[in-house]
Amino acid sequence: MWELEKSLQQHDIEISGWVLPPPGDPWNTCMSVHEKYADAPIEDRGDHLLFLPCELEMLFRPFVRNMRHPVEAYQLATLCVAASLIPSQTRLVVDSFSGAEVPPILWGGLVGDPHSNETYVIDTLIRPLRDLQAEHNILYTTGYTVEAVDRILGRQPGRGLLVCPDELLFFLQDIGSGRGDKGSQHSRWISLYDGNGLVVGDGTAGRTFVQYPSVSVIGRFQLSDIRYRWSTKKSYSDDIWTCFAWMRVCLDPRPDTSDLPFYDPYGLLEDVYRRLQTFLPARYVLSRVGQQFWREWSEKIDNLIRNETNEQIRIALSRTKERAARVALVLHCLDAACLMAQPDMIVPAGTLARAIGFVYRLQEHAKDIHDGIWGSQRR
């Protein structure tokens, strides 16, 4: 690689594109930081780092303490909201040779128990969007029909959208695989998750091609509800289910600390959301070390899929690999927003390591939720 670069420079040929590192090779900036973690499993290499930017992590600590929610619930909801605010054309290249890239699209689901109040987590994170929405185009909606989403995308084809269903269980059932209208909605939502270009509108109002649709989703339901409904009906879809990152929200059995000070996150979240909207569309690329991490992560997930006997979990793992890259892209933009700066074009290896550790933990939650609904038997 370096011989090729030197040869091109000697012949005054400009180096462009993403295959070769830019001058100064910032791609290697994470090497020294991660050398001592090189022998750790790929999912543990980000354990020495805060997951979200420090300001956000500190912001959520009082909620974790007072509300007794797991911090991952706030982290997941934050990622889904942030993903919807990043320009829809933005991409992260994870492999410079193949050109593989991912969009800023994340779907998250909080699965609660009675009295776990997981709705509070989501409301806390989307509250600032309500005021921002009055100033901008539509930022989020509770409607999830294909017609409703298409209508919004047609009006603002370059912007992302957050869908926050009042009840995620109904969303999952309504777009489950099937024939007719239900099958059409199912295919459309799979395409939306993949970020594929689509035509919206009808013959009367005119048709618009949206090249980079970006629709993220955050929602919640009670485990007891889904266990009852899905144990008796075949109205769910494995491929829709696996598009979601799942988080179990159980109350931590710690003593009541309601007398501790309360911090309103509204101001900081609104500032971060505004900054995300100011970013220009970009094609970021993983650092050289980050791409090595990506190859190790891909190999690990492929091995897990080969050795997994449960069909549903195998399908879930197939989406887990790419989800880590999507999370890394959103983290990269969040880091910059909290620093009040434009994101660097090169995404550090540490950012991907943070994302991999988080996604790996969520995969364990997905297995627990799977066992809670269907048991450990193979379908």
C-alpha distances in Å from residue 1, one per residue of 14, 46, 187: 15, 28, 42
Mean of the pLDDT values across residues 165-186?
74
When pLDDT is cut at 50, 70 and 90, the band that residue 13 belongs to is very low
Residue 231 forms part of a structural domain? yes
Give the pLDDT confidence of 212-248 residue by residue, as tens digits.
999 999 999 887 777 666 554 555 567 888 899 999 8
Whether residue 279 contacts residue 342, with contact meaning beta carbons closer than 8 Å, is answered with yes
Residues 122-162: tens digit of each pLDDT: 999 999 998 898 777 899 999 888 888 998 998 888 899 99
User: Is residue 338 in a domain?
Assistant: yes
Higher pLDDT, 1 or 203: 203
Token pair of 11, please?
Answer: 């012949």
> What per-residue confidence (pLDDT) applies to 378?
43
- Residue 35 pLDDT > 70: no
Question: Is 63 within the bounds of a domain?
Answer: yes
Please report the pLDDT score of residue 34 as a whole number.
52
256-278: average pLDDT: 81
CA angle, residues 84, 195, 295, in degrees to nearest 5: 95
**Contacting residues for 31 by C-beta, under 8 A, at least 6 apart:** 289, 349
Q: For residue 133, is it within any domain?
A: yes
CATH code of the domain containing 114: 3.40.50
Output the pLDDT for position 11: 41
Task: Count how many domains the chain has.
Answer: 1
**Which range (70-84, 190-204, 258-272) has the least confidence?**
258-272
Confidence at residue 115, expressed as pLDDT on a 0 to 100 scale: 75
In a domain, 6, yes or no: no
- Considering the domain boundaries, does residue 10 fall inside one? no
Q: Mean pLDDT, the chain, as a whole number?
A: 81
pLDDT at 292 over 70: yes
Choice among 22-26, 304-308, 330-334 with the minimum mean pLDDT: 22-26
Q: Any residues with CB less than 8 A from the CB of 76 and at least 6 apart, and which?
A: 108, 110, 218, 245, 247, 362
Q: What's the pLDDT band for 14 if we cut at 50, 70, 90?
A: very low
Is the pLDDT assigned to residue 183 strictly greater than 90?
Answer: no
Structure tokens at 369: 């939720």
Whether the per-residue pLDDT at 353 is higher than 80: the answer is: yes
Spatial separation of the C-alpha atoms in residues 60 and 19, rounded to whole Å? 39
- Which structural domain, as residue segments, surrounds residue 236? 26-373
pTM to 2 decimals?
0.85
With beta carbons less than 8 A apart as the criterion, state whether 246 and 369 touch: yes
Residue 355 domain-assigned (yes or no): yes
The answer to whether the beta carbons of residues 75 and 52 sit under 8 Å apart is yes
- Measured between alpha carbons, how far is residue 210 from residues 20, 34, 198 in Å? 31, 40, 5
Query: Is 15 inside a domain boundary?
Result: no
